[in-house]
Amino acid sequence: MTRPATLIALLADAVLCALAGIGVPLLIATIGWLSTAGWNEIGWSTLVDIASALWALGLGGGVGITIAPEFLPQLQLAEPFAFVISLAPLAFAILIAWVGWHAGARTSDDDSPWLGLGVGTFAFAIASWLSLQFASPGMVRIDTAGAVITGTLLWLAAMLIGVRVWEFVPWQQWLGKRTDAVMTRLGAALRTGAGLLAGAVALASLLLLVSVFTGMGRVIGLMQALHLDVWGVIALSLVQLAYVPTLISWAISWMLGPGFALGSGSLAGPGGTEAGPLPIAPLMGLIPDALPPVWWAVVVLPLAMAVGITMLARMRTPDPEVAPWWDRFVAPVGGALVAALVLGVLAHLSRGALGPGRLIDFGPAPGWVMLAAFGIFAAGGVIGAYLPLTTVDSDASEQGPGLGARLRGFVFAEGDDEPESAEPEVKAADKPTARVEGTSNTIDLSEVRAERAKREREEARTTMPKVQPREPVAKPAPKEAPRRSKSAPDGDLSDVLRRPDEPDIYADLDDEL
């Protein structure tokens, strides 16, 4: 059962996560409001509305915004203009998952962590609901129910991972004698899936970094078009940083082939970008306008990554060639399925609306992302599962690159440790040879054995410890036995034949005599 101290810590984790989600944006907005004397134009309640809206988007809910004509007269609106934004900044989702994972880890050592899971989940749901009650119902309309439900589900999933819920599942009762085999293969699939996810995120981050360098001019131009002051530029840049994980999810979809939508009827992918009018958001400048068809070759990157991860997993597996042929499919195909499911959920979280009309559809399509990810990762995994692994003898690798390259793929025969002089001289045609795998070249094994024996003798000579000469020890002079007098009477036969430190073997003979 969960201890009271742990329950209090879980309550604190939930409350602190909700406070950080709404408090950090509100603190940044308040600093800018005070530094620019913003109280002359807007009240502090507007900052609360903005922070609440951003936190609601981070939880996964939607935010309805109504712009009055007097609020932005430069738009020349005849009547209030309303629209919905639901594109989530996934930086808040990362915050929720990280704190939830730590909260779940607090109860991982308990025999029954279910009370702690329930208390932590309920506390986060209440804290997130209370944090969204400060927004005024005028300008901002928050989908509180959707935000609380989505955020709580993410929190619960992170807590389950932190508590290692799979350790509490009765696998032995469900699987019986197959438990060890199933768990071994399941663990291999999960590790492969985690590697595929990490590789996909790394490649997408690299592509995003390249787009930042190539599209920085467009980003600066869109920023200048907004006519913001210094603090406005800083605040907008911080908000866009919260959307960087969302852009990474878009880059993963772009790299896998399906691309992502830029509004209804618009698509950006490796083959180019077909988009209509877009909102003036500086991050939209990172999207390339037109690309040649050769950019479809970017799909090779995740394929090669899957091949490399599968081969790395095989190298870390003892005796990978002993397993049956079908067993090689389990880890790569299972890992591809795990990675595809996670990327599908990530695509769903990074999809939403950015405005009215055709702007209600932004982001990748989860179904196509899962299908493309599974196909590419499974194909790469199968290729990596059947590519031959080259084995290098550890002793031969120390002899230098030239000889090590010749010995690649060989196992020395018996008797290769014999000294060089013990081998009889044979003709060149009778010398034992072996063929190098994949080539028509052969090597002389007798030369290899002789060279190896010579090297071992040299190593034994250099590593043999030096023996210090011992000083001679003077032996004690032997004691002279006392001479018997001629006049002394003759003794028993045992007195004549007895030796010191020897048993008396003539005792029975003396008795008979």
Assign 141 to helix, strand or coil.
strand
The Cα–Cα gap between 310 and 332 comes to 6
Q: Which long-range contacts (CB under 8 A, 24 or more apart) does 112-119 make?
A: 112/1, 112/2, 113/2, 113/163, 113/168, 115/1, 115/2, 115/7, 116/2, 116/6, 116/7, 116/10, 116/163, 117/156, 117/159, 117/160, 117/163, 119/2, 119/7, 119/10, 119/11
Q: Reading across the β-sheet that carries 140-142, which strands appear in turn?
A: 81-85, 63-67, 140-142
- Average predicted confidence (pLDDT) for the chain: 79
SS3 content of the chain, % helix, strand, coil (to 5): 60, 5, 35
Q: Which two tokens stand for residue 402?
A: 């030239």
Please give the pLDDT value at position 465. Answer: 54
Q: Is the pLDDT of residue 432 over 60?
A: no
Q: Is the pLDDT of residue 197 over 60?
A: yes
pLDDT, average across residues 59-71: 84
User: Interhelix angle for 327-349 vs 244-256, to 10°?
Assistant: 130
Q: What percent of the chain has pLDDT over 70?
A: 75
Single-letter code of the amino acid located at 154: L
E runs forming strands in 245-336: 260-262, 267-269, 272-274
User: Interhelix angle for 179-225 vs 244-256, to 10°?
Assistant: 110
Please give the pLDDT value at position 491. Answer: 46
Please give the pLDDT value at position 24. Answer: 93
Q: Is the pLDDT of residue 429 over 70?
A: no
* pTM of the entire predicted model: 0.73
More confident residue, 85 or 36: 85
pLDDT, average across residues 89-115: 90
Single-letter code of the amino acid located at 219: V
Assign residue 170 a region (left: φ > 0; alpha: ψ between -120 and 50; beta: otherwise).
beta
pLDDT band at residue 417 using 50, 70 and 90 as cut-offs? very low
The Cα–Cα gap between 32 and 38 comes to 8
